[in-house]
Amino acid sequence: MFIDTHAHLDSPKFDNDRAEVIERAQEAGIDTIVNIGFNRETIPSTMALAEQYPFIFAAVGWHPTDAVDMKLEEDLAWIERLCSHPKVVAIGEIGLDYYWDTSPKELQHTVFREQIRLAKRLNKPIVIHNRDAHEDVVRLLKEENASEVGGIMHCFSGSWEIAKQCLDMNFYISFGGPVTFKNARVPKEVMERVPMDRLLLETDAPSWLRTPIRGQRNESAYVRLVAEAAAEIKGISLEEISNQTSQNGRNCLGLTT
Model pLDDT for residues 175-223, shown as the tens digit of each residue: 999 898 888 899 999 999 999 999 999 999 998 765 556 667 899 999 9
pLDDT at 137 over 80: yes
pTM: 0.96
- The residue among 86, 149, 93, 159 whose CA lies nearest residue 121 is 149
For 22-45, write each residue's pLDDT tens digit: 999 999 999 999 999 999 999 999
Identity of the amino acid at 48: A
Q: Of 137 and 212, which is predicted with more confidence?
A: 137
pLDDT at 140: 98
How large is the average pLDDT for residues 99-127? 97
pLDDT of residue 182: 84
Q: Hey, what amino acid is at 245?
A: T
CA distance 256 to 190: 29
Query: So what's the pLDDT on residue 256?
Result: 73
Residue 195's φ and ψ, nearest 5 degrees, are -55, 145
Q: How many residues does the chain have?
A: 257
Residue 81 is predicted with a pLDDT of: 98
Query: How far, in Å, CA of 215 to CA of 209, rounded?
Result: 7
What value does the mean pLDDT take over residues 226-254?
A: 97
Confidence of residue 91 (pLDDT cuts 50, 70, 90): very high
CB 227 within 8 A of CB 28: no
